Amino acid sequence: MHLFDYTRETVSLDGEWEAIPDQYEVFEEHPIANSFALPQAPEDDLLNFDVDDGYSIQVPSCLGEAVPEFRHYEGWVWYTRRFTWSGPRDADRTFLRFGAVNYEATVWLNGERLGSHEGGYTPFAFEVTDYLEEGDNVLVVRADNERREDGVPDEQTDWFNFGGIQRSVELVPVPETFIRNYKVETTLADGQVDVRVSAWTDGPDAGDSVSVRLPELDREAELSSVGDGRYSTELSLQTDAVTLWSPTSPRLYRIVLECGADAIEDRIGLRDVRVRDGEVLLNGERLWLRGVSLHEEAAGKGRALDATDVETRFQWLNELDCNFARLAHYPHTREMARTADEEGILLWEEVPAYWDVDFGDDDVQELYRQQLRELVQRDWNRPSVLLWSIANETDHEDATRNRVLPEIAEFVRKLDDSRLVTAACFADEIDDGVVVQDSLVDSLDVIGINEYYGWYHGDAADIAAFRGHPDGIPVIVSEVGAGAKWGHHGPEDQRWTEEFQAAVYRDQIDAIEDNEQISGMTPWVLFDFRSPSRQNPYQRGYNRKGLLDQRGRKKKAFYLLEEFYRDENE
């Protein structure tokens, strides 16, 4: 279960660390490997490895951005952080939490191995109560970003493999029995807002009561135990007593949960999402999703975004008049969803089950579920999150994939059935139109289709032949677009010019906007991003389908999409 820490008083371990690349994995075979994490390595070993004299590096960061000579490095990096600890007087237990380490992290504290975590984009935590020392401590993390055939994602992706400790590290002190996580689910029925609140406790005092308060709504309740440390209750409110969360009114309410000596606070939104008659409904009202896709990347920083980077992304989304964004192709920093709550931007979130993941491998399936669970449990209280996406551009002719992905869709629904499940699929051409022939769509609430008419094949207007799904499942055009290098101009029929990209957008918009089976779009992509496989003279290591370049300079297509979305919103 995810460790909720967001509004707790925590101790940050961000800042200056030491980093030692170990591409040949020499240290693991060294006779003193088990001593590496100790405060003082044997003196004769300091000739090659000194935990206090690596490359000084700020955490969070991406190794190749912080130390440019390792720009394309893949493999082991040993990170070390010394810190002094004198825990809070009222804390009985302490956890060590990582926001994300790409791709696999193995962690030692004061020479004790805490464990490992695989997956480069989701949070994880270890209890360190018995390993922390009063006074000086040494933390060692072995981060390994080597791409793997049996990983999620696998070896081949269309984005850059940034390595390192890319999100914050912190110590989280808690009472002996504490609230580990909570969940709020909202439904609308018969003029009422029904709110189910669940909480999970961790600790020996399983009999402690758990309570919840919504101070601004003047409601409170005791939660009842349903076993295994889980508690639950239901509240009903009249709709006229509540401002429902929506893009036009992103109202958030304070929530407080208490259990014995522990208390946590958060801000939540109350809203209801569902599909009906081929449409996506928010609070019973039809949505047309004016969106765009984006990667988690900033020039010179890689994937280690700060508050200014997040703010800039939402400035661009608001300039475009978006009410929706697709966070591709992996979980982004939690600040994206929390800012989306405040800004009124709905989100598509996904895990990197991308292209040729080995769905038939049992260990890969376990890792796949783990990453989904870590994402869902982190963000299941964010009203901005509309869609959980389970896959992107996977082979719909593969029998193993077609067996596994419907099971994954049900796995996500068991975790959280208050949101919609989607996947980015391919559109297929047949004699009388464009359809989706993927059997997975029968397991989805919303179909995403990636199509690049006018760029990789055909003409941009060919999508007008799209016929949707016979059962009327809502469709989002999850990828569409064309490449252009910022500042490169020419006629509309000349590839890589801003004019060509804008023409593709114009023709696609004309073809899509009148199709009743399409409920929105997230063109590819908001800004140019690193991709080693893109190496023609216009790209040189970047995917150039951005509406902006990697430095934030706007291309002509940005203004065209902005105009369309503003017209749609009138």
CA angle 470, 346, 388 (to 5 degrees): 60
Report the Cα 516 to chain-centroid distance in Å. 30
Sequence-distant (≥ 6) Cβ neighbours of residue 329 within 8 angstroms:
153, 157, 159, 295, 350, 352, 354, 392
* Ordered structural domains, the chain, with CATH: 11-174 (2.60.120.260), 178-260 (2.60.40.10), 275-568 (3.20.20.80)
Whether the per-residue pLDDT at 34 is higher than 60: the answer is no
- For 168, half-sphere exposure in the C-beta direction (CA atoms, 13 angstrom radius) is 16
Phi, then psi, of 441 in degrees rounded to 5: -60, -25
Mean pLDDT for 185-200 is 96
- Pick from 474, 403, 479: which is nearest to 440 by CA? 403
- How confident is residue 53, by pLDDT bands cut at 50, 70 and 90? confident
The per-residue pLDDT for 206 is 67
Q: What is the mean pLDDT of the chain?
A: 94
The per-residue pLDDT for 27 is 79
Mean pLDDT for 43-71 is 84
- 127-159 pLDDT, tens digit each: 999 999 999 999 999 999 999 999 999 999 999
The per-residue pLDDT for 38 is 44
- How confident is residue 469, by pLDDT bands cut at 50, 70 and 90? confident
- How confident is residue 168, by pLDDT bands cut at 50, 70 and 90? very high
Mean pLDDT for 551-560 is 98
The per-residue pLDDT for 30 is 44
- 291-331 pLDDT, tens digit each: 999 999 999 999 999 999 999 999 999 999 999 999 999 99
Q: 184, 232 in Cβ contact below 8 A?
A: no
- How confident is residue 42, by pLDDT bands cut at 50, 70 and 90? very low
The per-residue pLDDT for 422 is 98
- How confident is residue 26, by pLDDT bands cut at 50, 70 and 90? confident
DSSP 419-456: SEEEEEEE-EEETTEEE---GGGGG-SSEEEE--BTTT
Whether the per-residue pLDDT at 208 is higher than 90: the answer is no
- How confident is residue 28, by pLDDT bands cut at 50, 70 and 90? low
Model's pTM, two decimal places?
0.96
